[in-house]
Amino acid sequence: MVKSRFSAAFLHLLMSGCVIAALLAVIFFIWYPAPYFQISGAFAPVLVLVSVDLVIGPLLTLVVYNTEKKSLKADLAVIVVLQLAAFLYGAHALASQRPVFVVLDGGVLEVVAWPDIQDASEPPSELLDALPIAGPMLVWADSPDKSFYLDAVFSGDNAALHPEFYHPIADGVEVIQQSGVEITAQYLKENKDVSAAIEGVGGVPAELLGKRIFPINARQGDWSAVLDAETGELLLEIPVGVEWIK
């Protein structure tokens, strides 16, 4: 048995750190791959999770650890159970809120998590079957009933929250070509912040000429995405807002 309370707390910290590191790897590379961690505003819940499991647990061990206490094992068991409960709750909350679709709807990209559509009809089976393990799928939303969009103006509803309207993004290339903003040399000259943002994520502005840029309705910060108007492929996301043009 570890004799020093500091050694016990350090051992607890080390073990907690390994578990948290494994979860963070899942968060950053599978549930919220860049830049969706920032777009989804997941920093706050991750900070709470890390604080509880990486700080409070070892700190409580430091406080209660005393080899002369008869209740030491019970005290440590309570700490571990509480820490595990907080870990599982936080992990479940983050997993359930992860983005699953990025939906092109009316000239804007909506980032949709499972809770946003859990009470709606299911997406088409071919899209569900093709969902990637890591990150969301880019799709296009279009209602077959055009009166839906008129009603949506008054109800605040939008097609992005109706997965039965989802289509493969390749089916929406005409919509992409008719909405968003075309990236031209003149556009880049007039919007130096866009050029700087593209370079900031490793892109080359000149290579994106002819592509189209769309705003992302992000939970945190201003973001935009560049799409290939011929294939519908999402080329990159940049941390800058652009004008919404349907």
Is the pLDDT at 206 greater than 70? The verdict is: yes
102 and 111 in contact (C-beta within 8 Å)?
yes
pTM over 0.95: no
pLDDT of 71: 84
Question: Does residue 243 sit within a domain?
Answer: no
Q: How far is CA 220 from CA 85, 203, 227, in A?
A: 28, 22, 21
Is the pLDDT at 148 greater than 70? The verdict is: no
Is the pLDDT at 150 greater than 80? The verdict is: no
pLDDT of 104: 92
Is the pLDDT at 153 greater than 70? The verdict is: no
Structure tokens at 118: 């859990």
pLDDT band at 220 (very low <50, low <70, confident <90, very high): confident
Q: What is the CA radius of gyration of the chain?
A: 23
Total number of domains constituting the chain = 2
Residues 206, 120, single domain; the answer is: yes
pLDDT of 162: 84
Question: Does residue 244 sit within a domain?
Answer: no
| Helix, coil or strand: residue 142 | coil
CB within 8 A of 86, min separation 6: which ones?
49, 52, 53
Strand partners, 190: none
Q: Is 228 exposed, middle or buried (0-12, 13-18, 19+ CB in 10 A)?
A: middle
Mean pLDDT of the chain: 86
Domain boundary, last residue among 52, 77, 96:
96
Is the pLDDT at 156 greater than 70? The verdict is: no
| Residue linked to tokens 């919007």 | 191
Query: Tens digits of per-residue pLDDT, 163-182?
Result: 888 999 998 898 898 888 99
Residues 234, 194, single domain; the answer is: yes
What is the extent of the structural domain holding 205? 99-238
pLDDT band at 145 (very low <50, low <70, confident <90, very high): low
Question: Does residue 18 sit within a domain?
Answer: yes
Residues 86, 109, single domain; the answer is: no
Question: Does residue 193 sit within a domain?
Answer: yes
Residues 104, 91, single domain; the answer is: no
